Amino acid sequence: MTKTVELLAPAGSYQGLVAAINAGADAVYIGGQKFGARAYAQNPEQERLIEGIEYAHLHGKKVHMTINTLLKEKELQKELYQYLLPYYKAGLDAVIVQDVGVASFIRENFGDLPIHASTQMTLTGELGAKFWEEQGVERVVLARELSLKEVERICKNTNIEVECFVHGAICYCYSGQCLFSSFLGGRSGNRGRCAQPCRLPYEAYQGNKRICGKEELYPLSLKDMMTVEYLPQLIDAGITSFKIEGRMKRMEYGAGVVEIYRKYIDLYRNDPDNYKVKEEDIEQLLNLYSRSGNSKGYYLQHNGREMLSLSNPAYRMGEEEIFYKLKEMYCNEPKQKKISGKLKVFEGENLEFWVTMEEYQVHVTGNVVEKAKNQPMTIEKIEKQMKKTGGSLFQFEEMQVEVKGEVFVPLQWLNELRRQALDKLKDKILSPYARQEENNAKEIELPFAAGKKENHQPLEYRYHVSVETKEQLEAVLETRTGSIEAVYVDCSIFSLQDEKEYINQLRKTVHRGREKHLEIYFMMPGIFRENTQIIFDRIWDELSGLGFTGIVVRNFEELQWLKMADYSGKIITEFNMYVFNQRAKEFYLQNGVDMITYPLELNLYEMRDLNLKQGILCVYGHIPFMTTAQCVNKTFQGCDNTTRKNISLKDRYKKKFLVSNYCDYCYNVIRNGVPLSFLGARKQVDMLKCDKLRLMFTVESKKKTSEILEAFSKNVWENEEKILPEITRGHMKKGVE
């Protein structure tokens, strides 16, 4: 018999939860009214969700609740505790979390509630899994972009539970790294409100040359994943939980997918030698939901054109007879648990009733049985009345009625006796899950009140400047302003094709920076998967001896890697390691980080709530909207694995987005074509009292880099339109919902 694996189903509503469990799910994941990554699902209200938790537990199943968004300071301090408490007391089995501050808060206030690290944390390797294992997290939900080999390695080399997606939609971007919807329309994926701009049409260009075909207008729209044909390999890899995507889809979809995956998980467990998926089951999955066909996801390939719905982004919804059948089978009514009853009706004695379900048994007593004045009650009548459970969660499979004497019992007595017994049975089954409140988290006063006016004195800013090209580096080193404190040298600035020359170029860069009395930081890759780790393991001894002031990290793998290397230099986190609340900031500072780069989605007053010390504020740069395993250049022109291409995408409004391919580390970054700039907004930045500001150079020429450096060095930050004719202030004013 093979290893048991959990089948985890999506539920966008209470009815969806019931349908998934009825169809054979071992567990469901569902959101409440707040803080879930599917804000537009039919998330149940508190009382209904608690009913769902109880329903699952009565059937021996589990409920994982999504609190997998980033929480602002006021939400974490004033809302989260009271929101989560009723579900905690009801026996919630786990919470799925993205925000490190939320994870810290839950550990402190709900210590025995298991935490699952969301796929929104972009966990791509065993180092990231080990990081969260050391933090006491029970399970990691891995990035969907991983290969089967990488997943197997994580399962083998860690002691943490591993959850992987096996069916459903795939984001084009690594989950948790997407700001596309946020900056285009204010609907943040990190807040559960993604508007899915990846499903819209775009034209691809290299320079001025169009490189996409006439009908190839959907380069960011991935086909859905379907893995049922190679479940054996996934099970053998050691995965703990198979996750189905789809909380925004119909409940019949969830039930139908669960039905098929349940069938084949059980088949492999019971008869592995005869594992074969029937064509009609594949057809059912396709009919339930299909974006121009399905792909096998990333488990067996790194990326590829065939994974995309290039010319037809539309999906087909299943044939109505399939949905009707699934609704009739799983969705109409909660499944009742089979129970047996034994009733003793003895004249002159108290009614006695025993109810048994599996290993559980309860006993209740009622009123004294009266002697019948006229016709005595028959056993058949009493039995018929006692077996009526209506909409209860129980159904009598067997009822024994023992009568002694000429008895009469009012029907309401029998109804009350049955109700008491079923309530007692329910309580007995659920009592092991119930918890008591142990802490009482107190509200705190936020450091600033929105709208409060203060006198702002101009600050002397120190600039941290990141560069990705040799030309940008030259511009920074040649600048005459003394306000630059630190330079971040991106790992991609030199080619890794010749590792010896790579180290030599970095050595020269550090030396030149030190001559200018600058702090020099090495900026790690945006994604740190197994192949990238192998490279850095190989060059680390030389790299760490070059004299960098510190290292900028962009993921948990890198943070753990430095920890395991006993790195003693300074560590700065990039803005994609999100800090939406002070607990998140404290978390990083307690885990070896010296400074954080503040996020890009908070407004001015929300930023002030963070108390911007020990941190850096980004005031210029082409913001990365997506970090992806897919490659736009490879999709349309094939892979040459060498040089950075001048690729861009244009949407239907002719807005331009810049695409950078990082071939040494095999990922893409899609950026806003319009730069974020706070030139002309000096007063607003002054009120934040953050004296370290970040200028992020990625696609700029040497001349443009010099002009922007000079503009920011001016005390009033003049916004000269000849330098930056078009800019965005990002979320400075409104923030995100």
Per residue in 493-532, pLDDT (tens digit) is 999 999 999 999 999 999 999 999 999 999 999 999 999 9
Sign, CA torsion 322/324/327/328: negative
**What is the number of other CB atoms lying within 10 angstroms of the CB of residue 367?**
12
pLDDT at 77 over 80: yes
Q: Please give the pLDDT value at position 324.
A: 86
Those residues whose C-beta lies under 8 Å from the C-beta of residue 562, and which sit 6 or more positions away, are 551, 553, 571, 592
Cβ atoms of residues 61 and 28 within 8 Å: yes
Q: Please give the pLDDT value at position 447.
A: 53
Those residues whose C-beta lies under 8 Å from the C-beta of residue 43, and which sit 6 or more positions away, are 12, 13, 30, 31, 32, 33, 36, 49
Confidence tier at 27 by pLDDT (50, 70, 90) = very high
**DSSP label at 331?**
I
Q: Mean pLDDT, to the nearest integer, of 231-252? A: 95
Q: Residue 629, Cα to own-chain centre: how many angstroms?
A: 17
**DSSP label at 728?**
B
Cβ atoms of residues 197 and 626 within 8 Å: no
Q: Mean pLDDT, to the nearest integer, of 195-200? A: 93
Those residues whose C-beta lies under 8 Å from the C-beta of residue 665, and which sit 6 or more positions away, are 491, 492, 525, 526, 527, 532
> Mean pLDDT across the chain, nearest whole number?
92
Domain ranges of the chain: 6-170+222-331, 176-220+626-674, 338-430, 462-623+675-713
Confidence tier at 457 by pLDDT (50, 70, 90) = low
Q: What fold does the segment set 462-623+675-713 form as a domain?
A: TIM Barrel (3.20.20)
Distance CA 343, CA 403 (A): 8
Residue 210 phi, psi dihedral angles, 5° rounding: -75, 130
Residues 156-184 have pLDDT tens digits of: 999 999 999 999 999 999 999 999 999 99
Q: Please give the pLDDT value at position 624.
A: 98
Q: Mean pLDDT, to the nearest integer, of 377-390? A: 92
Cβ neighbourhood burial of 707 (10 Å; 0-12, 13-18, 19+): middle
Distance CA 197, CA 201 (A): 9
Q: Mean pLDDT, to the nearest integer, of 192-201? A: 93
Distance CA 661, CA 667 (A): 6
Q: Please give the pLDDT value at position 41.
A: 75
Q: Please give the pLDDT value at position 38.
A: 78
Q: Mean pLDDT, to the nearest integer, of 329-342? A: 91
Cross-strand pairs, 669: 627, 660
Confidence tier at 612 by pLDDT (50, 70, 90) = confident
Q: Please give the pLDDT value at position 510.
A: 98
Instruction: Give percent above pLDDT 90 in the chain.
Output: 81
Q: Are strands 667-672 and 656-662 parallel, antiparallel or unpaired?
A: antiparallel
Token pair 């930081």: residue: 521
Distance CA 307, CA 295 (A): 6
Do 6-170+222-331 and 462-623+675-713 fold alike per CATH? yes
Distance CA 257, CA 20 (A): 9
Q: Mean pLDDT, to the nearest integer, of 592-598? A: 96
Cβ atoms of residues 349 and 413 within 8 Å: no
Rounded to whole angstroms, what are the CA distances from 301 to 34, 144, 451, 557? 36, 12, 52, 22
Secondary structure of 144-193 in HEC code, one letter for each residue = CCCCHHHHHHHHHHCCCEEEEEEEECCCCCCCCCCCHHHHHHCCCHHHCC
| SS3 call for 125 | coil
Residues 622-649 have pLDDT tens digits of: 999 999 999 999 999 999 877 788 899 9
Cβ neighbourhood burial of 634 (10 Å; 0-12, 13-18, 19+): buried
Q: Which of 116-125, 250-259, 608-617 has the lowest mean pLDDT?
A: 608-617
Q: Please give the pLDDT value at position 450.
A: 45
**DSSP label at 637?**
H
Token pair 């059948």: residue: 325
Q: Mean pLDDT, to the nearest integer, of 411-425? A: 95
Residues 351-381 have pLDDT tens digits of: 999 999 999 999 999 999 999 888 899 999 9
Cβ atoms of residues 311 and 291 within 8 Å: no
Q: In the structure encoding, which two tokens stand for residue 72, read together? A: 């602002």
Confidence tier at 390 by pLDDT (50, 70, 90) = confident
Q: Give 6-170+222-331's CATH code, choosing from 3.20.20.70, 3.40.50.2300, 3.40.50.720, 3.40.50.620.
A: 3.20.20.70
Those residues whose C-beta lies under 8 Å from the C-beta of residue 352, and which sit 6 or more positions away, are 343, 344, 363, 364, 365, 366
pLDDT at 451 over 50: no
Residue 630 phi, psi dihedral angles, 5° rounding: -70, 155
Q: Mean pLDDT, to the nearest integer, of 307-333? A: 82
Q: Please give the pLDDT value at position 443.
A: 54
**DSSP label at 199?**
G
**DSSP label at 29?**
E
Confidence tier at 449 by pLDDT (50, 70, 90) = very low
